């Protein structure tokens, strides 16, 4: 006859059996590492992102409009300058476009996947400030420094502008959608309106500030320093007040 099926030992308690983690349990454990936000926190975060986007575009677009004027100014003028030719300035400006394309195709999504959208958004703010601070840094170079050193710093400023702009626009939409109290379409529309307002105010305010700095202070260094501070401010605000990613 067939042998009887062995029964489970009565000395083994069911409570001692360790459950096996299922994929759904692992997924829940991963999500719990994020930050649980209330509606008030989401609303505050949403408007902080919009404020940062406004200040960013104002400083970024204003810098790209004023910087060619400064680069073409003679070195012996009151506001300084590099006295570069139109062809050289055009080559520097083209680096912004090539930088945007290269970043969008090969680097931006990798940076976001590695650092997360919050950190990438903050880094874009700091990169925008660095681009403005490059001009005062040129003034700190030794008198006998070669012209190439100043040109390299100016080129780095344009590259930083391109990198900052690419990372900011990619992450601002993501953060706006995730923190929006309403639908994602409304969030994207508000963010684009904030960026458009900053892009409209940037050339006007920066052009006025640059002119007044030359007329009153006889130098453009305070203007570019203040522009760097305006670019730095939203980065500090974002870093100190934005919750850790991911949000749920």
- For position 148, what pLDDT does the model report? 85
- For position 120, what pLDDT does the model report? 93
- For position 36, what pLDDT does the model report? 67
- The two counts, helices (H) then strands (E), for the chain are 8, 0
| Whole-structure pTM value | 0.79
Q: Does residue 238 contact residue 121 with C-beta atoms inside 8 Å?
A: yes
State how far the Cα of 48 lies from the Cα of 64, in Å rounded to an integer. Answer: 24
Q: Does residue 136 contact residue 69 with C-beta atoms inside 8 Å?
A: no
- For position 228, what pLDDT does the model report? 94
- For position 241, what pLDDT does the model report? 81
Residue matched to tokens 């990798």: 110
Q: What are the C-alpha distances in Å from 17 to residues 12, 13, 25, 29?
A: 9, 8, 17, 21
Which run of H or of E encompasses 72? helix 39-72
Structural domain spans, the chain: 38-241
- For position 37, what pLDDT does the model report? 66
Other CB atoms within a 10 A radius of the CB of residue 120 amount to 22
Q: Does residue 194 contact residue 180 with C-beta atoms inside 8 Å?
A: no
State how far the Cα of 10 lies from the Cα of 13, in Å rounded to an integer. Answer: 7
- For position 31, what pLDDT does the model report? 36
Q: Does residue 54 contact residue 194 with C-beta atoms inside 8 Å?
A: yes
- For position 106, what pLDDT does the model report? 86
Show the tokens assigned to 223.
Answer: 């203007």
Which run of H or of E encompasses 196? helix 184-212
Residue 88's nearest CA partner among 101, 72, 77 is 72
**Tens place of pLDDT per residue across the chain (248 aa):** 555 555 544 444 444 444 444 444 433 333 345 566 677 888 888 999 999 999 999 999 999 999 999 988 887 766 678 888 888 888 888 776 777 788 878 888 899 999 999 999 999 999 999 999 998 898 888 878 888 888 889 888 988 988 899 899 989 999 998 887 767 788 899 999 999 999 999 999 999 999 999 999 888 899 999 999 999 999 998 888 887 777 65
Question: CATH number of the domain at 38-241, please?
Answer: 1.20.1250.20
């Amino acid at each position: 006859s067939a042998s009887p099926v062995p029964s489970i030992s009565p000395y083994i308690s069911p409570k001692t059996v360790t459950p096996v983690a299922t994929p759904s349990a692992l997924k829940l454990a991963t999500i719990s590492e994020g930050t649980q936000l209330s509606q008030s926190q989401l609303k505050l975060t949403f408007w902080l992102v919009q404020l940062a986007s406004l200040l960013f575009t104002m400083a970024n677009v204003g810098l790209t409009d004023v910087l060619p004027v400064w680069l073409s100014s003679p070195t012996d003028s009151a506001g300084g300058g590099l006295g570069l030719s139109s062809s050289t300035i055009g080559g520097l400006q083209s680096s912004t476009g090539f930088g945007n394309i290269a970043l969008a195709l090969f680097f931006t999504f990798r940076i976001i996947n590695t650092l997360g959208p919050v950190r990438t958004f903050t880094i874009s703010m700091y990169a925008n400030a660095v681009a403005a601070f490059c001009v005062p840094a040129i003034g700190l170079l030794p008198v006998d420094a070669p012209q190439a050193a100043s040109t390299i710093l100016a080129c780095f400023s344009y590259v930083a502008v391109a990198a900052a702009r690419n990372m900011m626009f990619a992450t601002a939409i993501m953060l706006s959608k995730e923190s929006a109290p309403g639908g994602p379409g409304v969030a994207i529309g508000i963010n684009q309106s904030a960026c458009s307002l900053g892009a409209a105010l940037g050339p006007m305010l920066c052009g006025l500030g640059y002119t007044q700095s030359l007329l009153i202070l006889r130098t453009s260094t305070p203007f570019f320093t203040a522009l760097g501070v305006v670019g730095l401010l939203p980065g500090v605000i974002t870093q100190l007040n934005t919750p850790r990613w991911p949000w749920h």
